[in-house]
Amino acid sequence: MSSAPHSPHDYPVNEHGFVRQCAWCRRVADADGMYRLVAPKLVYGASHGCCEACAIRFVSRGLKPTA
């Protein structure tokens, strides 16, 4: 049995009302837009993209993020 998904209301939102979360490492952007908060799971209803650290990892491997 899985636990309930984390609510987007548990995390800061950006100016458009979205929680920004990296789809790869699950870090969540804080109120300053920096990916410093760590969520144990993907946040239900969040805008999933790629944080700076994961983007650098992809670039160093010659891969392109798909999100």
Q: Quick one: which H or E segment has residue 14?
A: none
Check: CB of residue 62 under 8 Å from CB of residue 26.
Answer: no
Question: What is the model's pLDDT at position 20?
Answer: 92
Question: What is the model's pLDDT at position 3?
Answer: 42
The yes-or-no verdict on residue 66 having pLDDT over 60 is yes
Helix locations, the chain, DSSP H: 52-60
- What's the residue count for the chain? 67
Question: How do residues 1-60 score in pLDDT, each as one tens digit?
Answer: 334 445 666 788 888 888 999 999 999 998 888 999 988 888 888 888 899 999 888 877
Question: What is the model's pLDDT at position 26?
Answer: 92
pTM above 0.95, yes or no: no
